[in-house]
Amino acid sequence: MAKLNMVKALNLALLEEMERDNDVLVLGEDVGVDGGVFRVTDDLQRKFGSQRVIDSPLAEAAIIGTAVGMALYGLKPVCEIQFSGFAFQCFHQIENHCARYRMRSQGRFHIPMVIRMPYGGGVRALEHHSESEEQFYAHIPGLKMVIPSGPRTARGLLAAAIRDPDPVIFFEAKALYHAAKEDVPDESEALPIGRAQIAREGDALTLVAYGAMLRVALEAADILRTEDGAGVEVIDLLTISPLDRDALVTSVKKTGRAVVVHEAPRSFGPGAEIAASIMDGAFLSLEAPIRRVTAHDVPFVGFAREKANVPDVPRVVAAVRETLAF
């Protein structure tokens, strides 16, 4: 067991997968010599050379387009988009090609690639550096959308994403990069994509969160346990798409109540799909309407006001209390 932060854990996963499989390669802006703006690809070029750790031009469409070609050829590229806010430059490549090749070729080709992007607020970054836009990718059939919540899940899910035969969008919460360290097993570990985890057991309410919001949810659950004596079950979604509906439904059938937390703006966000899935599967167990605690329906605000926009512990606690009291 080693105690690692999320940057080191992601770096470890890349290292292990590149050692395990010679077809795995890394490309993106500043990933080579610089080791990535957040140092996730630190030292990889020195170990694996510039043929497998490629510094790309500042051109997101080119990174993804090139990678799609590599994947068709049989390689397993892991692309880094420096900030998810810049991904619109390559959205065409992702949506029109990356996501569609398996369908378009009737299964003859598939795209085994990973697109890593830092996402989310809480680090006082500039415009286009703080958005939470997982819903764009989760909405596209043919893509998988994964968001780890800490070092161990980051390492295990990145390994699984690299081994996955199809394209995986892999979001990394900037707020978590250098946050808490966590024990990461010595053995290489791949966590199943499409499977949520119960981060904390409880029977009063199901609190659904992912990425950086998991910490917020757990803190809220602590407060609710001590102040209200309410056992809140916290589900760490880990994969946004495909959604682990079974885990959600099983939990809500037990608790009868649910609150969803995400950093993305509310309207048409993942919370809506999560709430609808719970309605479908656990309707007759519901004791209260499902609430969402989300960012507001505004473009991401400047860093001076981001705390008012991104859900925090008091907002989650208040929503849970309202739902419990309904």
Partner 1 sequence: MPRPFALPDLGEGLTEAEIVKVLVGEGDVVAEDAPLLEVETDKATVEIPSPFAGRVARVHIQPGQTVKVGEVLVTFDDSSVASAGQGRGASEPHSPRTPPPAPSPLPRRQPATVANVSEQPVEHAAGGAGRAGASAPAMATGTGIGVGPVPATPATRRLARELGVELRAVRATGPAGRVTDDDVRAAASGSASRSSSLAARVNPAQRGQAVAEPGAAAPTRGGADAERAQVAKPLAPIGAEAPPLPRFEQWGPVQRQPLSHLRRTIAERMALSATLIPHVTHFDRADVTELDAIIRRSVEPARERGLVLTLTSFLLKAAALALKEHPQFNASLDGAAGELILKRYYHLGVAVATERGLIVPVIRDVDRKPLVELQRELATLAQRVREGKATLDDLRGGTFTITNIGALGGTGAIPIINYPEAAILGVARAREEPVVLEGRIVPRTLLPISLTFDHRVADGADGARFAAAIVRRLERPEQLLLDW
How many residues touch partner 1 under the rule CB under 8 A: the total is 8
Active-site entry in 110, 129, 178, 296: 129
Whether 129 is catalytic: yes
Which one, 197 or 285, has the nearer CB to partner 1? 285
Min dist CB 285 to partner 1, Å, is 5
Residue from 21, 287, 297, 322 that binds partner 1 (CB under 8 A)?
A: 287
Which one, 218 or 230, has the nearer CB to partner 1? 230
Residue from 15, 37, 272, 288 that binds partner 1 (CB under 8 A)?
A: 288
- Residues in region 218-237 near partner 1 by CB under 8 A: none
Which one, 127 or 287, has the nearer CB to partner 1? 287
Min dist CB 208 to partner 1, Å, is 18
- Judged by CB under 8 A, does residue 250 bind partner 1? no
HEC per residue, the chain: CEEECHHHHHHHHHHHHHHHCCCEEEEECCCCCCCCCCCCCCCHHHHHCCCCEEECCCCHHHHHHHHHHHHHHCCEEEEECCCHHHHHHHHHHHHHHHCCHHHHCCCCCCCCCEEEEEECCCCCCCCCCCCCCHHHHHCCCCCEEECCCCHHHHHHHHHHHHHCCCCEEEEEEHHHHCCCCEEECCCCCCCCCCCCEEEECCCCEEEEECCCHHHHHHHHHHHHHHHHCCCEEEEECCEEECCCHHHHHHHHHHHCCEEEEEEEECCCCHHHHHHHHHHHHHHHHCCCCCEEEEECCCCCCCHHHHHHHCCCHHHHHHHHHHHHHC
Which one, 218 or 282, has the nearer CB to partner 1? 282
- Residues in region 266-285 near partner 1 by CB under 8 A: 283-285
Contact residues for partner 1, defined by CB under 8 A: 256, 283-288, 326
Catalytic machinery residues = 129
